[in-house]
Amino acid sequence: MAVCWTPAAKRYTRRLAVLMAIYLVTLFTAVWLFRHDQVSAPLAWPLAIAPAIPVIGVFWAVMRFIVEEKDEFIRLLIVRQCLVATGFCLTIMTVWEFLQNFELVPPGNGGFGAAFFWFMGLGVGAIYNKLTMGTAGTWS
């Protein structure tokens, strides 16, 4: 079956690729500099926040996808995917928080924060769409 990308989906994919590339560069740069004690005090905060900026950019890209998508059915699928992702992320984080509060799991998240679970939730949302609506999104 032919892959059918709407113009908005193509723009979203391009934005995602650019943001992920920036994320990898900023993350590896920040990790390397911190590990090698190359960071002075005034630079520590901006450098630590730098990898978060492309991640925030992905949230923006998803929202732009919803706004720019002209196909109303595809738009519905994306909104459903985001709702499932939000519910999934909040559920995981809430359970995890209580487990930490009662000291059943160690503190910290090992680098797996809310954004990671929200992105995982997008995958869960795509599966939910496929099962209930017959398609996961712009292709399939």
Our CB check for another protein shows the closer of 62 and 77 to be 77
Separation between Cα atoms, residue 71 and residue 13, nearest integer Å: 17
Closest CA to 121 of 79, 95, 83: 83
Q: Enter the DSSP assignment of 36.
A: T
Segment 64-83, which members bind another protein (CB under 8 A)? 70-74, 76
Our CB check for another protein shows the closer of 72 and 103 to be 72
> Could you tell me the two tokens for 116?
């990671």
CB atoms under 10 Å from CB of 9, counted, come to 19
> Could you tell me the two tokens for 79?
């909104």
The contact pattern for another protein, residues 80-119, with x = CB under 8 A and - = no contact, is ----------------------------------------
Q: How far is the CB of 24 from another protein (least distance, A)?
A: 31
Our CB check for another protein shows the closer of 19 and 122 to be 122
